[in-house]
Structure 1
């Protein structure tokens, strides 16, 4: 009898310990779930959710993703009006609304940011986008007011967005449709692009990945039109490689646009020379025709805001221009992060 009681006592002890283990595990699960829920409510987490949607939109624009961006951005602004990057969220919201043809709603968002956050970084872009939105609505006098405010802005009046605004003010307002001015492409010299927005494109690179200029917004980009059969291109390649290796970790990217007649020599040369940047084989002249490339090598150096700053650089001139623009871009990024 005593032996049986001892066994029963041991069994009860094991059952009790098992129960304690189960309860402790459940408590840990609940605690961890609460931690995840708490983290998901933090503004930084919500901001990253918004940026993830924007990243996906850069790959392929879908109306459902734009709607999702509108929903998430609206919730964010309501919940976190004092977050350090709330001005960027305002800009993203207004831009998404305009893309969805909800232009009047976009106008209200831009105006709210400009009124409530007059010294914020994205006021510059919002003033320009506000003018474009008004032009899209046919309200050209209101558009002029936004452009003039940007041109005369004490902080942003000398930057690229203000230059676009000035160009728009010089146009016949009745012909404006809510688009940025573009240079005439007939018989263009590459340097005619200077100071103008670099035309975006959406293609697939040699690795099968989506490729666009917009994807690299915020970075300095060298758009390099070349081919393996082009003697001057090959002669310049060591300098291009050296420039890439020097600045690739400082928000600098090269996009090579090959005009080769076939894929095989292009891939072989890239592998042999170890050209580590992004490449596209422009077999149908999809990109080169947009930039009206008549001869190669042709290069376009594009700043972090998507504006063409230099063209057809070679040798030391290329290295110098990249160094200056990278330095300028990093200074802007540092200033933004400190705000």
Structure 2
């Protein structure tokens, strides 16, 4: 006689699966309020089973069925979004595009669905081709500003920042004109500023500030010297290697050749001073007010840690080089004199 042994964990999953099937028998005829209760139970069910793939497949199918029966209700649209998230998790691209092709172009669900797809990591292969085809269709047909903004934001990802800047600029300008999503608009402005104002070879934006030693610093007065602007905060320095590299550069080159300027990006003078002392930072640091920090971050798109080298004529020579790449770049600039 053959004996089958069912482990407690397998029995638990089987019990939950059976319970789920019973609860979902009448999902197509549920009211919105009943479905919301069922959806909450389903999410708890998934969490307990560590998002078991077969369960996600089951619930995605049910949620999509509910959406098909209730495409105009909020609960129906939430069901569709949940189904898409689950299909993304289990990499069911065909199911996703089957669902997407059934959504009316005027549906309010598009905006959040596109944000979900844009943030997902499933792109690649046929998925990517189908996704781009979908976006191209939507770009032609959708006029609702909020959804269109999300479409354009997603489309930008298909273009190369190296070879298709003009198309990217065009899309970002339309996002700004639509003015439908504050985050999208700010991102568009940042990128356009990077492309147009902070392009390699453009004059570096001028500013004046005091240093932590009380000296006056004016970028306009630095013509004839290479300047390395290092935008940083204690929260984003990733380790002693960066600090050591910048210290070495500051000490290796004469002030006639290169001046390293630290630009703190947080308004916390004590934390900055303590960090400088603790880590032995030797290069010049600016001491900035909150307004000065805000202005410099906007001028140089320094919403994250970055290096910007300004050549002896006051033009931007490079952006975001680190370590040996930065040293080689500086040596190359100095050798051209």
Task: Give TM-score scaled by structure 2 length.
Answer: 0.39
